[in-house]
Every structure is written in structure tokens, then in C-alpha cells.
Structure 1
Amino acid sequence: MQYTRLKKWALLRLRKRTGSPAIFDKSANLLKSSLFRTFILLFAVGLGLSWLIPQPARSQQPKDVELTLVSFAVTKAAYDRIIPGFTAKWKREHNQNVRFNQSYGGSGSQTRAVIDGLEADIVHLALAFDVNRIQQAGLIQPGWEREVPNGGIASKSVVALVTRPGNPKRIQNWSDLAKSGVKVITANPKTSGVARWNFLALWGSVTQNGGNEQAARNFVGQVYRNVPILPKDAREASDVFYKQNQGDVLLNYENEVLLAKQQGETEPFIIPQVNISIDNPVAVVDKNADKHGTRQVAQAFVQYLFSPEAQREFAKVGFRPVNTTVAAEYSRNFPRIGKLFTISQLGGWDGAQRRFFADGALFDQLQVAAR
């Protein structure tokens, strides 16, 4: 720095500090002194360096973050318990508030809503096929099932048969659903994930128990001829059965039946010993999470769903835990299944969709035949 510029800067600072022209003039005359010039130089350098010393950063509260969770209808009771646990944990660890927007409905309907623009950060759906549809729409990156534990499956259930008090139609197993005069309530496989699981459980009750595919087609066709109404999702199916008092037997998630029992419903139910493992996946919707800047929190929430704390909350409302420790803790709540098969044994979701649920596929054919 040139001396002349430094002197002018020092004089300006001195004028501001003295506030008096007379005092300033006397001080300025002293600049002729080499000793005072040295003083001014040191004074100026000191002031300059003081500007360079970093000041302590002010403690700032991180901005609140907002997540949108889109899930299938019957998970709401679990998330009413899980979300407060996560938000409290995140607040303790990150000093940041997390607010949740939540949407619940039939898995197929929820999937279409996300594809059509519902900006979910996280989806928890009834079946992997629905997550794959969102992936195909470019919103979720391929390999989502490898990003989290357990292949992305956060909750499990099986199909239950709920009867009226006293079980007047003497329903004991799958085969009884095809009897004449039995009215079966189940949701619509075109809009509901649980309904697809119900359909596949009916089909597998034959093919996974020694029967051939023609026998399975005949049996499933007869059951759907006994279905008077097709609600859009599991919750509506429950309302039709419990509140509107329609039907002799309700096909539903075991977890939904156990939750209804907790809420005072007394209808008896049967868990068939040939049954399908209902596997419900969760995933971060990558495109939306990146757009919203919520990826870190969204990923942490998905991981939290596999923790013992969250798995216990799933178990309390009737879901079969995927965490082995928690599953052991709650083993008395869930009867063992003699022959439990999976979607992979029925060709996987891509094959099942094409064969059974696509437009014009087997379900549509059976509906036409039942008219």
C-alpha cells in the first residue's frame, strides 16, 4: 500500500474519531514528525488487520423443512405414531423442524396422482409394481430397492377373511368363498393394491396348493361372481362391510382387521394357512426430493422406517414387522402361516400385471363373464 494513500486514509479516520476541526488541525501538523508518521502507520495497519479477523458466526436456526408423504390407505394409523417419533428425533439431532404433508388412498390411485404431478418426496405403496410405475415415469431412479434395507419392503401383511358374528355362512377357508349365496366384499384391483393382493391370494390358493391354472381360473371367476360391489380401496371396503353392513365375508389386510379389532370391532376372522406375503415398499421420489431440497431428510425418514422404533409402531397397528428383533417381540400377535408364497412365485409383478390386471387381461375377462 502506498504511503500517501495510507496517510489520507489515516487522516480521514482521525477526523471522524476527533470530531473537532481544531483538534484535527493540530493532529494533522504532527504528521510532519517522522515519529508520528510511524505511529499513524502502525495505527492504520492495526485497524486494517482488525477487519481481517473473522468474527464469531451467529448461531442460526436451520429453516424448517417440509416433506410430502404419499401412501396407501391403511398405513395412516401407523404414520400417526411414526411421524411424531421421527420429527422429535430429527429436532434433537439437527435442531430443525420437519413438517409433513400426508396423502392416503388406494395404491393405484396414489401412484397415478404422483405421476400426474402430486409432488411426493416419499412414497409407501402397497406393491412394488406401483413404485416401478413411478420409476418408469422418470421420478424415481432405477435401483431404488437397493438404496434401503430389506429390498425396500418396510411393512408386511397377509390376507384375512372377516365374517359376521357367529360366522353364519360357516366360512373356514378360501374354497368357501365360491359357494352359492356367499357375498364377498373386496376392493377393485384396478385401483387398489390390497385388491390385487386379494386376487393373487385367491389364485395362489389353488396353484400353490396343487391345483392347475384352469382350476384357478374357474375358482377365482366364481368368487368374483359373488362380489356385489368393488370399492376403490381397502378403507372403503372396510366401510362397506362394517358401516354399511354389506356382505358375508370381507377380504382385507390382516393389519386392517387387527386395527379394527383394537377399535372395538368384534367380527371373527380367519387367516388362511395358504396365503400370500403382502410386501409394501417405500422409496424416495428422487426428482421431487432434489427439486425441493429435501433429499437428506427424506432419506433419513425412509431409513427410520426400518428402525426398531418405527417397526414397533407398525406392529402395534397390525403390520407384520420386517425387523427380525421386533418380529420376535410381537410373534404372539401374528399366527404362523403354513404355506406362505410370494409374488415372485407367481411370475413377479411385471408378469402378474400383464396377465391379470392390464386392460383386457384376466380380471377384466372375469368381470365381463360375471355380468
Structure 2
Amino acid sequence: MTVSQRVTRSILRRRQAIAGVLIGASLSINLAACGNSSNTSQSGAGQKKDVEITLVGYAVPKAAHDVIIRKFAAKWQQEQNQKVTFKQTYGGSGSQPRAVIDGLPADIVHLAVGSDVDKLAQSSLVAKDWDKKLPNNAIVARSVVAIVTRPGNPKQIKSFADLARPDVKWVTANPKTSGGARWNFLALWNSAIKAGGNEAKAMELVTNAFKNVVVQPKDAREATDAFAKQGQGDALLNYENETIFAKERGQSLDYVVPDVNISIESPVAIVDKNVEKHGNREVVEAFARYMFAPESQAEFVKLGYRPAATVADPRFPQVKTLSTIADYGGWNTVQKKFFEDGGVYDKIEAGNK
């Protein structure tokens, strides 16, 4: 073999060796890539993207919401393999719909009165038949109106009519901003009607009673603070559940539940327009339904709300005559008649100035 042939054969061997290395390296890279792709797919298998719910409510039931939210989030994570977080915003029920209409991105609302949800429906944020979308006509919690007094009830206040006595000063939130205050107003009005009076008698009673109001904060919690912490008034009108909740946590207070009363019904509703925008309908609807589940209802009862069913409970004195908002034509009628600009409440306030 000549020198030239030996050189040529040596070059060919080197080229074959280099080609073999390159092919091996290529195969290694491809296999590694396939392996990484497989690992990525497996690590994400079944795991859904995190989802967020914005809950907007009136101030009173927050303590129940906190527990219900925690339980729901754990249940949803376990059953759906998806993390759900919540944003919560609270305030007076009368002012919360305006905030949502103005852009607060609520997915679900829990408000003190149906008329506040109706405002959202009128703005096409909530379905017109929102009260048919959830169990129990969307009423998730019930209570009645209680009269909180000073220790020992020195003024011997026993009925709503006693609030019209000239020697009694009292506190309520403002019906323009507070759903609870609207219930307070209606409890007074209802007491006069159920005592056999006509609307003129009811107007007289409520007018005289509101002459004695010393302060009208924007929501029920601030009204409670004005009475309990600031010492204003001889009495406070508030939800029965608020008084039970406070008393069971060590606050010393006396209260009366008049046996002529009105059923306070607080609804929840899904804000459809925002849910569509956020793409979280499945979890929002599941949470809304969960609020009616027995474990959730138990949290409302712990907070002092009356059970949905008629259940004997020593914390809840019997109410002999219990009216409902339906007795007065429903919230659309009541809102327009009593609380819209120029309505009965405005006339009473103007007359008392």
C-alpha cells in the first residue's frame, strides 16, 4: 500500500468516528428532549389553573363567610384539584350595589335586602330572575329585628312603639345606605299596622320614633359602635343575630325581641356579567350553592342567624306575629314607596328637621 493510500484510509476512519460521535450526541439530545416533555406533561396532569372569586357583601355576615370560604376552598382543592382564592369587600348594603355598578368586580354578592340585588339586575349585571337561580329563592340567611337596651333596661323598652316615647333616645343605621336600617324602619311600620292601625297611624308612629334618633351611621356595625362604644342613645335597633353574636363573645348587653316583628331575609346572587368576563362561572356557581349546604348554614346559625327550618333553639325567642316583605308587595314596591328619593322616609326626615 502506498503512502498516499494509507493517508486516505486514515482520514476516512477519522471522519467515520466523528460522524458516529455526532449521531450519538444527536440521539442523546433527542431522547433527553422527549424525556423532559414527558416529565412536564406528567407534573401538570390534572392540575387546573388557580381561580379567584370576588365576594362583595354587607358587613354583618363576614365572620360566617370567613369560615365558609375556608371550608369551600379546601373542599374544592380536594375534589377538583384547583386552588381557589377569595377577595372580600364589605360595607353598607345600600352602598355596595353602587360600588359594583361603578366597577367593583364582584363575582357574587350577599346583601341585606333584595332591592339591592334588584339594582344590579336593572344594570344588567345580574339576571332578572336571580332569585330563581339558587335554592330557597336565593335567601341564604334570616333574622329579626331586636331592640338592644342599656343594662337592666332602665327605660323599660319592650316594643317598637316605645321608641316613639319622648323619654327614649335611640340609634339606627341610615336606611339610605344600610339594608339593616331599612328592615328597622319596616319593623316599626309593621308594628303599627299589625296593632290595627292604618297607614296614617303607621306614619305617625314612625315619624315620632325617628324624632328620637340621635345618630344614623352608614351601616349596622357602625350603629352598634355608636351605641356600645360611644354610649349614644338608650336603645339600638339591630339584627337579632348581631346581638346574639356579641353576647356569646362576652359583651354584656340586654335586648328584647318584640313579638310583632318582620322576617329579615338576606339574599345572595351571582354577578353574571363579571363572571362571564372572569371565566370563573363553574367555581362561582359551586360556591353559591355551597352557601346553602348544611355545614354553611350551621355557620350562619353560629353567628346568630335563625335556622332556615323551624327548629327549637333557646337563643331564638318565639315571635307571635312575623311578617315578611311579601306582605308589603315585595322589595320593588317597598323600595319605591319608602326609600327612593321623595319616598316615605325622606318625607319623615324632612318633617323632623
Decide which of 49, 72, 97 is 1:63's aligned counterpart.
49
Tell me the distance in 1 between the aligned counterparts of 2:291 and 2:315. 20
Tell me the distance in 1 between the aligned counterparts of 2:90 and 2:55. 9
Shift of 1:208: 2.5
Partner of 1:3: none
Partner of 1:32: none
1:243 maps onto 2:225 in alignment: no
Shift of 1:22: 4.0
Shift of 1:23: 8.1
Letter in structure 2 aligned against 1:353: Q
Tell me the distance in 2 between the aligned counterparts of 1:172 and 1:124. 31
Tell me the distance in 2 between the aligned counterparts of 1:249 and 1:78. 26
User: Is this contact kept in 1: 2:161–2:188, CA < 8 A?
Assistant: no
Partner of 1:360: 342
Tell me the distance in 1 between the aligned counterparts of 2:106 and 2:223. 25
Letter in structure 1 aligned against 2:188: L
1:334 maps onto 2:320 in alignment: no
Partner of 1:11: none
Tell me the distance in 1 between the aligned counterparts of 2:313 and 2:166. 36
Letter in structure 2 aligned against 1:98: V
1:84 maps onto 2:66 in alignment: no
Tell me the distance in 2 between the aligned counterparts of 1:265 and 1:182. 23
Partner of 1:132: 118
Deviations 1:280-337 (A, max 9, x none): 0001101111111111111111100000100000000111132x3xx63x63321221
Tell me the distance in 2 between the aligned counterparts of 1:95 and 1:190. 43
User: Is this contact kept in 1: 2:244–2:315, CA < 8 A?
Assistant: no
Partner of 2:166: 180
Deviations 1:119-138 (A, max 9, x none): 00000000111111001111
Two-structure CA RMSD over aligned residues (Å): 2.1
1:232 maps onto 2:218 in alignment: yes
1:1-371 map, 5 Å: 22=16, 57-60=41-44, 61-322=47-308, 324=309, 328=311, 331-371=313-353
Letter in structure 2 aligned against 1:140: V
User: Is this contact kept in 1: 2:142–2:306, CA < 8 A?
Assistant: yes
Tell me the distance in 2 between the aligned counterparts of 1:20 and 1:185. 99
Shift of 1:20: 7.8
Per the alignment, in what secondary structure is the counterpart of residue 58 of structure 1?
helix
Per the alignment, in what secondary structure is the counterpart of residue 140 of structure 2?
strand
Structure 2's unaligned 5+ residue stretches are 1-12, 20-33
Letter in structure 2 aligned against 1:341: S
Tell me the distance in 2 between the aligned counterparts of 1:64 and 1:357. 42
- In terms of Rg, which structure is larger? 1
Per the alignment, in what secondary structure is the counterpart of residue 224 of structure 1?
helix
Deviations 1:185-242 (A, max 9, x none): 0010000000000001100111133211110000000000000111100000000000
Tell me the distance in 2 between the aligned counterparts of 1:113 and 1:360. 23
Tell me the distance in 1 between the aligned counterparts of 2:17 and 2:224. 91
Moved more, 347-356 or 106-115: 347-356
Return the TM-score normalized by structure 1: 0.83
Per the alignment, in what secondary structure is the counterpart of residue 332 of structure 1?
coil
Shift of 1:263: 2.2
Tell me the distance in 1 between the aligned counterparts of 2:14 and 2:171. 95
CA gap 1:226/1:59 in 2 versus in 1, 3 angstroms: same
Tell me the distance in 2 between the aligned counterparts of 1:20 and 1:272. 104
Tell me the distance in 2 between the aligned counterparts of 1:340 and 1:209. 13
Per the alignment, in what secondary structure is the counterpart of residue 86 of structure 1?
helix
Shift of 1:174: 1.3
Tell me the distance in 1 between the aligned counterparts of 2:16 and 2:187. 100
Shift of 1:21: 5.1
Shift of 1:350: 1.3
Shift of 1:93: 0.5
Return the TM-score normalized by structure 2: 0.88
Deviations 1:95-116 (A, max 9, x none): 1111110011100111110111
How many residue pairs get matched?
Answer: 324
Shift of 1:24: 11
